[in-house]
Each structure stands twice: as structure tokens, then as C-alpha cells.
Amino acid sequence: MDRIHITGGTPLNGVIPISGAKNAALPLMIASLLTGETLELVNVPRLADIASLSRILGNHGVDHMVVGKRPGQTAETGQTVRLTASNVIDTTAPYELVSTMRASFWVVAPLLARFGEAKVSLPGGCAIGTRPVDLLIMALEKLGAQIEIDGGYVVAKTKNGLRGGEIRFPKVTVGGTHVALMAAALAYGTTVIENAAREPEVVDLAECLIKMGARIEGAGTPRIVVEGVSRLHGARHEVLPDRIETGTYAMAVAMAGGDVTLEDTRADLLHSALDVLATTGTEVTSTESGIRIRRNGAGIAAVDVTTDPFPGFPTDLQAQFMALMTLAKGRSHIRETIFENRFMHVQELARLGAKIRLEGDLAVVEGVERLKGAPVMATDLRASVSLVIAGLAAEGETQINRVYHLDRGFEALEAKLGRCGAEIRRVRA
Ligand code: EPZ
């Protein structure tokens, strides 16, 4: 298995281009199942999760074409992908494919809405918590789907198509909102989604669906109203910038020091995280095409954080922020409210010399003077990248094992950091 070796202690200086958002690209690709015409997606990141979903869509019969590179494009310029679901041959998503990536379960919504049936494997356990799909099933039932669980599969059917209804989520769910939007787009009549997720990726999906002919109002607010239409058509849509990649590199600069401009991204996608970073003593400035992050010399102030649905502090940046807080002056409290088991990075950060105590959903971090490199490994994507950040600021060499987690969600990580002066290299197994 590949490893990443980092020799820490060098500040980061330069420009990092931000990729298209993985968590927007995935539901957008799934939305291609809603129409027989071509959906063209621009700025799709080159990531293992995207490749996995392409395989899953291919299994349903979706035609997938990557548009050739244009002059000036590099390996890191997002791809343009054309997806055409004109010949769907199979409405089953098998366990072997769905178990590799949880988001692929969301295919249940467009398959059911367009073909009246879907058989999709339950996604199974996950390293960051139990992550059930009960609310996604509830949403589909509210639209008239008959659902059974059989042999580990969700078998969903509708006799005369889905019908609009009221979906009230008892807790905010991003996947639940994606599923509700896609199903309601082709349902007969009006659907009201209450307590909808407000994440930018939900807004991006809604904007793409609107381009495809859907009638949606209120995306980005807790109440979304969808007037169903009988068919959707092809469209072209650009994937929004990855706010988690943006926040991750911002925290890397805050921790290792330096001056980096994050390009092709937007501050409004992650205000809460940038506000917190500014409170730690990092300079954050919006530029014409992105965000400039600077920290030169000054210490890192300890700041308390609680994760929350958007516009709150994102759970997907919790691990990276904890890495930063390990070098803060004083004690900080980090509370995780979205997932019940998202602290696997704590033990690994401790291997680098961090002092963190866990009390249920709260991590109490005592800032230390310095971290020291060590071999580490992580069990999920964001936890892995928190170790990269910590390794950049630690003395000596850090080896990160199980790099495939990073490849799931960070495009060209070593190249982007390496160009800013980081001593980082991949050792192929
Ligand atoms: C999305 O997952 C993201 N994944 C996650 O990013 C992200 O951490 C999460 O939203 C929260 O922001 C993608 O977009 C592909 P949820 P999702 O449904 O949709 C509970 C990453 O690293 N819940 O908003 O699966 C659930 O257990 C990933 O890129 C139910 O109880 O998350 C959790 O506690 C990790 N029943 C909470 O809701 C359900 O039916 C929020 O989950 C569904 C969810």
C-alpha cells in the first residue's frame, strides 16, 4: 500500500488551486439517472470516489464519457464528464459496489422516480458512526414509495409514479435532502421539504436540477418546495468549489505558517470555519479569485468549536481543526454533534505528541509546544488529512499509511502542497 512521507517544519508559500467539490459532484452525477438526455458536468475532480461512482452508474447502463483535455488544462484541472442514462439496463445497485461508497445509495431516488423501481444494497457500517438510511427511506415513503428491506437490500417500488408530499426531517440530513430533491423533481404534484439541509452542495444539486427543467424553490433555506414535472432534460453544469479542501489547506497554512492563496474558491462557502481561523490569529482575506491565508510568526490562539449543519462549523473540518489546536496556546474544546464516532484521529495525533482527552462527544485539547513526526494511519478521509497537516508542522518525518483514504477525496494533494514548499512525497508500495 502507498505511503506518504512528510518532513515537517517548512512554511507553505504560494498558490493552491481548489478542485471541484467531491460532495457536490457525487449527487450531480447521480442526478444524470433522472433523464435520458446528456448531463455535462464541468470541474469534476479526479478522485477515487468519483471513479467508484462512475463504475456504479456504468453498471446501471449510464454512458460515461470524459471530454478530452483542452490546451492549458493540467492533470489537476477538473474533468468535464458527460453522462447519458438513455439506456438504463438494471435498476439494482449491488452490495459489492454500494459498500465501497455510502453516497452511491442515493441512486435509489432517481431510479425509483424515473423507472418506478429500485433495488439498492444497504450501505452498511462506516468508520465514522452507524450512519443509518432511515430518514432517506422515510422521505421516499412520504412520496408514496412502497419499501421493503430484503436480504440486505432496500427494494423500492411505486405503482403509478411518486406523488408529492410533505417531508419533515427530524434532523438535518444532507443525503436525505439530496434524495428528497431528486425524487420530488419527477413526482406528481407539490413536495415540501421541511428542515432541509442548507449545505452549498444541496444548493448546487438544486441549481443543476433547475437547469434540467425541475421546479424548485428555497434551496439553501430550511424549507424547499418542489413542483414535480413529468420529465427532465439534459443540461451543462459546473461543480462548485470544494469548501472542505479549501478549509483543509487554510488550516494547513495556519498550522505550518506561511502565505498561500487558495484559488478558484469562495469564502461564502465556509464562513464559519474562516471566522474561527481568524480568531486563532490567522490572517484571512478574500481576493478576487479566492482566499489568502497568512500566518507569520504569531502563536495560535486556542478556540472552542462545535460542529453543526451548514452554516455552522462543518464536521468534515473537525479533524483538521483539532490538528491545528494541538499547537495552540492553551486549552480548546471541540464538540462533534453530527457523527457519534468521529474522533479516530485523536489516537494518531497523540502519536505525534498531541495532548487530547475525550469526554463523550467532546475533545479537550491541551496545546503543546511542538509535535514530533511518527508513523501514523487513519481510518477515514478527513482524519487522514488532519495527520498530513499535523505532519507538515511537526519536527522530523511523519509517515502516513493507508493513503487510499486521501485519494478518495483530495485531488493531487502532494503536488498542491509540494509546490508551496512542503516536503511531501508518495512512496509507492
Ligand atoms: C454528507 O454525508 C457528506 N457526504 C459527509 O461527508 C458529511 O460529513 C455529512 O454529509 C455531514 O455534513 C457526502 O456528501 C457524500 P447526513 P451524509 O445524512 O449525507 C444521521 C466526507 O468526508 N442520519 O447529513 O451521509 C447521520 O447518521 C463525508 O466527505 C440518520 O440518522 O450525512 C448523521 O448523524 C463524510 N438517518 C446525521 O444524520 C439517516 O437516514 C447527518 O448525516 C441519514 C442520516
Do the Cβ atoms of 61 and 89 come closer than 8 Å?
Answer: yes
In this predicted model, what pLDDT tens digit does every residue of 36-86 receive, in sequence order? 999 999 999 999 999 999 999 999 999 999 987 665 666 667 899 999 999
Pairing of strands 362-366, 355-359: antiparallel
- Is any ligand 1 atom within 6 A of the Cβ of residue 154? no
- Per-residue confidence (pLDDT) for residue 298, from 0 to 100: 78
Taking the centre of ligand 1 as the mean of its atom positions, its distance from the CA of residue 418, in whole angstroms, is 31
- Per-residue confidence (pLDDT) for residue 75, from 0 to 100: 65
DSSP 8-state class, residue 285: E
- Per-residue confidence (pLDDT) for residue 429, from 0 to 100: 80
CA distances from 272 to 68, 250, 267, 365 (A): 38, 13, 10, 20
Task: Please state the atom number of ligand 1 nearest to the C-alpha of residue 340.
Answer: 34
Residue 61 CA to residue 57 CA, distance in Å, equals 7
In this predicted model, what pLDDT tens digit does every residue of 138-159 receive, in sequence order? 999 999 999 999 999 999 999 8
Which one is catalytic: 126, 298, 358, 427?
126
Single-letter amino acid, residue 321: F
Low-confidence ranges of the chain (pLDDT < 70): 69-76, 124-130
CATH H-level superfamily of 22-238: Enolpyruvate transferase domain (3.65.10.10)
| DSSP characters over 10-61 | PPEEEEEEPPBPHHHHHHHHHHGGG-SSEEEEEEE---HHHHHHHHHHHHHT
Residue 268 CA to residue 366 CA, distance in Å, equals 31
- Per-residue confidence (pLDDT) for residue 188, from 0 to 100: 98
Determine whether 5 is exposed, middle or buried from the number of CB atoms within 10 Å of its CB (0-12, 13-18, 19+).
Answer: middle
DSSP 8-state class, residue 113: H
Q: Can 126 be counted among the known catalytic residues?
A: yes
- Is any ligand 1 atom within 6 A of the Cβ of residue 129? yes
- Per-residue confidence (pLDDT) for residue 10, from 0 to 100: 95
Peptide bond into 45 cis (omega under 30): no
Q: Which CATH number fits domain 3-19+241-427: 3.40.50.1820, 3.20.20.10, 3.65.10.10, 3.40.640.10?
A: 3.65.10.10
Residue 55 CA to residue 43 CA, distance in Å, equals 19
Residue range(s) occupied by CATH 3.65.10.10 in the chain: 3-19+241-427, 22-238
Name the CA radius of gyration of the chain, rounded. 22
47, 101, 131, 410: residue to mutate for ligand 1 pocket, most atoms within 8 A of CB: 131
Which pTM was predicted? 0.97
